[in-house]
């Protein structure tokens, strides 16, 4: 599966999608889910929590390991995907559909500074996990 062109990415393997209302949805990439394997638990970040760019904000756990998820930009948590509480495996089957939480970014311009699909692929190819 290639990384969708319409998304932005972080070097810590989150994807970022800008929604119509200006909020952003955040999930983990195909590469990240493949490394982690079968997901069994997704912790929901707290609604209304203020996050700094790169701040640890939640955890996803596979059978194998726990992995932190980081805020791609600074902002406030506005929604969590409660479906993942019962179907964490959606992250494996549909990584770019299974958003984990949404944020209202402090500064929309921060999004454009994130990696595009090609630049993210270069991160993956360089072998940095």
Site track for other proteins across 78-97, x = CB under 8 A = -------x------x-----
The region of 8-16, 19-27, 36-44, 112-120 touching other proteins under the rule CB under 8 A is: 36-44
The region of 15-23, 34-42, 45-53, 105-113 touching other proteins under the rule CB under 8 A is: 34-42
From 37, 47, 52, 55, residue interacting with other proteins (rule: CB under 8 A): 37
Nearer CB in complex with other proteins: 38/55: 38
In this structure, which long-range contacts are made by residues 35-40, counting pairs with CB atoms below 8 Å and at least 24 apart in sequence? 35/129, 36/60, 36/62, 36/64, 36/65, 36/67, 37/62, 37/63, 37/64, 37/92, 38/62, 38/63, 38/64, 38/89, 38/92, 39/88, 39/89, 39/90, 39/91, 39/92, 40/88, 40/89
From 1, 4, 22, 38, residue interacting with other proteins (rule: CB under 8 A): 38
Task: Tell me which DSSP letter residue 15 carries.
Answer: E
The interface with other proteins within residues 53-72 (CB under 8 A) comprises 59, 61, 63-64, 66
Nearer CB in complex with other proteins: 109/127: 127
Q: What is the CB-side half-sphere exposure of residue 45 using CA atoms within 13 A?
A: 29
- Which residues make up the interface to other proteins (CB under 8 A)? 34, 37-38, 40-41, 43, 59, 61, 63-64, 66, 85, 92
């Amino acid at each position: 599966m290639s990384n969708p062109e319409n998304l932005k990415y972080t070097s810590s393997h989150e994807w970022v999608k800008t929604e119509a209302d200006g909020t952003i949805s955040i999930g983990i990439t195909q590469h990240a889910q493949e490394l982690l394997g079968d997901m069994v638990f997704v912790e929901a970040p707290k609604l209304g929590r203020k996050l700094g760019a790169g701040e640890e904000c939640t955890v996803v756990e596979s059978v194998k390991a726990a992995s932190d998820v980081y805020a791609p930009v600074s902002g406030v948590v506005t929604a969590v995907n409660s479906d993942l509480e019962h179907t964490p495996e959606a992250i494996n089957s549909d990584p770019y559909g299974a958003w984990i939480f949404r944020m209202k970014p402090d500064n929309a311009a921060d999004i454009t500074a994130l990696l595009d699909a090609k630049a993210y692929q270069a991160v993956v190819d360089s072998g940095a996990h």
